[in-house]
Structure 1
C-alpha cells in the first residue's frame, strides 16, 4: 500500500512491497538482483507502484527479504540504469517511469496493447457527432458549465432504466466524465478516512485506487468466475456467504461490486445471490454501489438481468465507454435525489461539469442502444471465438473459463507465472497486465486477463507473442504441450 505525506509524496514500506512482489525469486536467469529489479519494474509499469513513490531503504528490504545488502543495492542500481528509479540525497530511492521506447521486435512498427479491453467506435458515431455539432449553437448562450447533466440526457438515461425494468426519474441521474470519475466521486462522498469498503477480488484495479485515495480500508471478497452458472452453484453460495461475513464483521460504509459480467472474471450473480447481498448490506447500513458498465454486454447468456437497484437499495454506475466508444468520456450515476444533490455539491472540488458537446452526442446515440448492443454482441462473439481458437492452438495448456458476456476472459495459466510472462511479452512489444494487477497484495499470479475485442490481426500477433514468451519461461515447458492440462474449457 502506498502512503502519502502532506506534500503528496508517496512511499511504500518493506512489508507492503514484499506482498506485491509475490513469488519473484528466479524470475530472471541473471540472478536474484535482476529478478528483484524486474519485478519492481513490472509493478511500476502496471501502476501498482506509482511514479514518485519512495521505495524502502536497502537495509529495510534486505532484512525483510533475507537478502544481502549487496543484492538489494544491485537491484536498485539496475532500476536506475533502466530509468525506473532515481536516488536523491535525503529522499531515498524513488520509482520513475522512463520515456516509452518501442522494442525493436515489436510487430507492425508499434506496440500491441491488451491492457485496455475496448471496442471500436460505432459505425454511425461520426454521423451522430455531426448532428450533435449542429445542436450545439442552441447552448452557446449558456456558460457551458454543467455539473449535473443536460435535462434531455438525464431524461433519456432515465428512460433507458425504465426499459430495463427500473422506474427512474431524471432527477435521480447525475452525468459524469466516465465511470472512473463516477467511482472516484462516490468514493470521496460516501467514505471518510479509515472507513471500510467491501470490494470484489479480483476486480477493476482503478476502483481499488479510487477507494484508497479516498482513505478507505479495503475488505476484499473472493470472486469465482463460475458463480451464477448452474455448475457453479456451490461457488456462488460461497461467494455470497463471504459477502455476508464481510458485512457482518467489518460494518463497511460502502460496497463496490459488478453483478453482471464482472471484470475480469466474467461472472454474473443470480437473482437470489443479489437479494442476499443487498439484504446483508441493508442490515449493516452499507451503501451498495454497482458498476454496470459491462452489464448489457451479453453474448449468449440468454436473458437480460434488470439493474441491481430493481431488487433493493443500490447506487448504479453506467458508462458510454464500453457500449458506444471509449473516446466518449461520459458516464452517469443513478441514485436517490438526496445523494445526487450531495454528489453535485462535492463534484465542484474536482471539476465543473461534463462537456456539453459530448452530452449532445450521447443524446443522439442513446435511442439506438438496442442496435449498439446487437452489434457489440456480434463483435464480442467473434472475438471470443477467435481468441479461444488461437489459445487452443498455440497454448493448449491454458484454461479459458466459459465467458457468456463481458469484455474479457480470466485465463488460468496453470502456474504462478503471470508477472514473468507480462515482462517477457513486453520485451517483444506486447503490453498485457499481469494477474496481480487485478487483486491486492500480489495475488492471482496464475491468471491473465485477455480482452475479447480488438483488431483480429493484432490479437493473432498478441497470442503469438504470448506463446513465444511462455515457451521461454523456466517452469512453463511442461505446461505448454497439447493436452497437458485439458485445453480450453
Structure 2
C-alpha cells in the first residue's frame, strides 16, 4: 500500500490525542473495517512521514503501538504488514449481555427456515444421479425466480436467470466478465463497500455519483441521486458498467423515482453502458408511496440489455443461505455460464431446493419482515432523537439502514470508541471510495428493539467519551451527500 493510498484512507484522522496515538488508532480501525486488507504491506516510515508531514519518530511510534497491540508485524528488510490480533480485541460488554455487531445489516434467520430445509432434503434424492456441479441453477429454482419477477411486473423466462452463490458472487461474476483493466465503471457514493471492491478487483476505474439522504424537513428534490451529475458522467466518462441500488439504497435508504429511472436508463442505452441494479433489499417496502416495478422494467424495450438485475435471499431469508441470482438477456447469461467455471463450479443443490420452496411463500415472508422493520425503524428514530437531538436522522420508508449525519467529522473516532463499549459499527468512510463521509454513520434497524436500545446506549457512552477530547470542526466534507 502506497503512502498516498494510506493518506487517502486516513482522511481527517487527527484528534485531541497525541499524533502517534491518533494515527495508530485510525490505522487500527481501517484494519478492523477491512479498508486495509490483512497482509497488506504498509508504507515505509520514511515515505509515510514525508506524505503526512510528520516526523519519522511519530510514524515509528505509531507503528510500534500497532505492533504491540497485534495489528502490525514488522520484519527487517520486508516492511510492516497489517494483521489482526490472534484473538478478538477486548471489548467491554454492553449492559444486558453480549457484544453487538451492527457492522452487518441483516435480519435474523427466518423462523420457518429449519422446516423448509427438512422438506427440501426430501427433494434431494432425485438430483443425486447428477454430478452436483451446477453452474446455472436447477430448472425449478430458475422458474421460481422468473415467476417472482413476472409477479412484480417484469416478464421473465427461466433462460434469463442464472443462480449464483449470493448477490456478492453475482457482482463479482459480472465485473470479471464485463470489465477490462482500465475500463470506467459508474458507482454511487456512498455505496455498498463490497460492490466497489469487486469492481476495483476487476480492474475498473471508478467514477462516482453522489446519493443524498437529506435531512428531516428537506425538500424531496434535494434527496437521492444527483441526476444531472449521473447523466453527465454517463455521457462524458462512457463507463462500460454502472452499479446502482435504486430501491432503498444502502446506506442512505433512498429510492430512485420512476421518471428518473427512465431517463437514467435511456442515457445509459445511448452510451452503451450496462446498469446493474442490486435489488437485494428492493422489496423491503415499509410505507413508500406509489408503485415501483423492478428497475429493468423501465428500460427501452428495444434495448433490454441495458439493465441487469441481481438479487438474493440473504436479507429476506438468512445470510447463511448463499443463494442469489442474475437476471439478464440470454446472450449475457450464456457468457456468464461459460466463464464461471474458472472461479467456481456452481451453487449447492440443497440450498437451491430450500430457496425454491421458500420463494413460493415470499409474499407472506416479506409481509412478516416489513412489519418487523417498521417497528424497528420507528424505534431507532425515536431513540436517536431522544439521545442525540443534534444528529440528523432522515426518515426512510423502506430498506434496513439509516444514514445518520453526526454533525462533525468524527465517524471513525466514534466507531473506534464504540468498540470499547461493546458495539461494532462501521464508520462512514467504509461506504465511500476515497475516505469521505466522516460526518456520517450507517446504523441498521434490522435488529430487535432490545438490541437497538443496547446499541444506542453504547453509542451514547462512546459519544460522551469522545466529547472528552473534542475534535475541531474543520468543515471537511461538510457538504458531502
Question: How far apart, CA to CA, are the structure 1 residues paired with 2:88 and 2:134?
Answer: 40
Shift of 1:255: 0.4
Q: Which moved more, 1:203-212 or 1:392-401?
A: 392-401
Shift of 1:476: 8.2
Question: How far apart, CA to CA, are the structure 1 residues paired with 2:222 and 2:432?
Answer: 22
User: Which residue is 2:127 aligned to?
Assistant: 139
User: Which residue is 1:417 aligned to?
Assistant: 410
* Contact kept in structure 1, 2:421 and 2:461, CA below 8 Å: no
Question: How far apart, CA to CA, are the structure 2 residues paired with 1:256 and 1:371?
Answer: 29
User: Which residue is 1:25 aligned to?
Assistant: 14
Question: How far apart, CA to CA, are the structure 2 residues paired with 1:96 and 1:304?
Answer: 48
Helix, strand or coil at the partner of 2:404: strand
User: Which residue is 1:66 aligned to?
Assistant: 53
User: Which residue is 1:486 aligned to?
Assistant: none
User: Which residue is 1:9 aligned to?
Assistant: none
User: Which residue is 2:85 aligned to?
Assistant: 98
Shift of 1:109: 5.0
User: Which residue is 1:178 aligned to?
Assistant: 166
- Structure 2 portions without partners, runs of 5+: 300-305, 473-481
Match of 1:339 among 319, 329, 332: 332
Query: Is 1:119 matched up with 2:107?
Result: yes
- Give runs of aligned pairs for residues 205-216 of structure 1, distance below 5 A: 205-216=193-204
- Give runs of aligned pairs for residues 349-428 of structure 1, distance below 5 A: 349-428=342-421
Q: 1:235 to 1:117 in 2, by over 3 A?
A: closer
Shift of 1:303: 3.5
1:27-83 CA-partner distances (Å, limit 9, x unpaired): x52x00000010011110000110111111111111111111100110111111111
Helix, strand or coil at the partner of 2:226: helix
Q: TM-score, normalised by structure 2?
A: 0.93
Runs (4+) of structure 1 exceeding 3 A deviation are 474-479
Helix, strand or coil at the partner of 1:379: helix
User: Which residue is 2:479 aligned to?
Assistant: none
- Structure 1 portions without partners, runs of 5+: 1-11, 480-489
Helix, strand or coil at the partner of 1:223: strand
Question: How far apart, CA to CA, are the structure 2 residues paired with 1:91 and 1:283?
Answer: 50
Question: How far apart, CA to CA, are the structure 1 residues paired with 2:106 and 2:86?
Answer: 24
Question: How far apart, CA to CA, are the structure 1 residues paired with 2:445 and 2:289?
Answer: 18
Shift of 1:439: 0.3
1:121-157 CA-partner distances (Å, limit 9, x unpaired): 2222221111101111111111111110010100011
User: Which residue is 2:66 aligned to?
Assistant: 79
Q: How many residues align?
A: 464
Question: How far apart, CA to CA, are the structure 2 residues paired with 1:103 and 1:109?
Answer: 15
Q: 1:68 to 1:50 in 2, by over 3 A?
A: same
* Contact kept in structure 2, 1:132 and 1:364, CA below 8 Å: yes
- Give runs of aligned pairs for residues 295-310 of structure 1, distance below 5 A: 295-310=282-297
Match of 2:33 among 37, 41, 46: 46
Question: How far apart, CA to CA, are the structure 2 residues paired with 1:149 and 1:258?
Answer: 24
Shift of 1:235: 4.3
User: Which residue is 1:260 aligned to?
Assistant: 247
Shift of 1:393: 2.0
Shift of 1:102: 5.4
Question: How far apart, CA to CA, are the structure 1 residues paired with 2:235 and 2:6?
Answer: 30
- Output the aligned Cα RMSD: 1.8
Question: How far apart, CA to CA, are the structure 2 residues paired with 1:230 and 1:188?
Answer: 40
Shift of 1:231: 2.6
Q: Which moved more, 1:211-220 or 1:466-475?
A: 466-475
User: Which residue is 2:434 aligned to?
Assistant: 441
Question: How far apart, CA to CA, are the structure 1 residues paired with 2:162 and 2:55?
Answer: 55
Match of 2:423 among 397, 421, 430: 430
Query: Is 1:284 matched up with 2:271?
Result: yes
1:338-374 CA-partner distances (Å, limit 9, x unpaired): 1001111111111100011000000110011110110
Shift of 1:328: 1.2
Question: How far apart, CA to CA, are the structure 2 residues paired with 1:138 and 1:191?
Answer: 39
Query: Is 1:196 matched up with 2:184?
Result: yes
Question: How far apart, CA to CA, are the structure 1 residues paired with 2:331 and 2:114?
Answer: 37
Question: How far apart, CA to CA, are the structure 1 residues paired with 2:370 and 2:403?
Answer: 19
- Give runs of aligned pairs for residues 225-236 of structure 1, distance below 5 A: 225-226=213-214, 231-236=219-224
User: Which residue is 1:220 aligned to?
Assistant: 208
Q: TM-score, normalised by structure 1?
A: 0.92
Helix, strand or coil at the partner of 1:219: strand
* Contact kept in structure 1, 2:387 and 2:460, CA below 8 Å: yes
